[in-house]
Structure 1
Amino acid sequence: MKRNYVAVSYGALVIIESIWWFSLIAMIGGMLGLAGSPLPWSSLVALMGVGVVTAWLFGGAKGDSTTMAMYQAV
């Protein structure tokens, strides 16, 4: 069984980034008295996933996954 490590890497990146953003938004929502995050986590995952797929398809971003992850971090 052949694994697609690029897809797994991008999937992990989307999940980690959405968790980070959800935590930040929940803290801000708590400070504003909203009792948590105003956005559900599933919406953040979908939003970031669509962004990654769109950038991959239309941005011309081709290359190995390590180099692309470093470019996205900057």
Structure 2
Amino acid sequence: MNHSHISPAPYTCIECGGDSARYPTSEELEIHIASDHLNYCPYECERCRFAKFPTEFALISHCKSDHGLKEFF
């Protein structure tokens, strides 16, 4: 019998609690805390007046999906 076991994400947000607040890396937990609990979103979209993002990746994803940009520099 083939059993696959996926271990739970080891990093938990103590502010949120529960299984939905678990992250696979400490970096992802830090991003969650900064953006959701400290409202720290340093990356701003130059096309949207108030669009701010917690990571450069989130900003690039926004620019590609919302503004149709193929490349981002």
TM interval, short-chain normalised: under 0.3
TM-score, normalised to structure 1, is 0.24
Larger Rg: 2
Higher strand content, 1 or 2:
2
Higher helix content, 1 or 2:
1
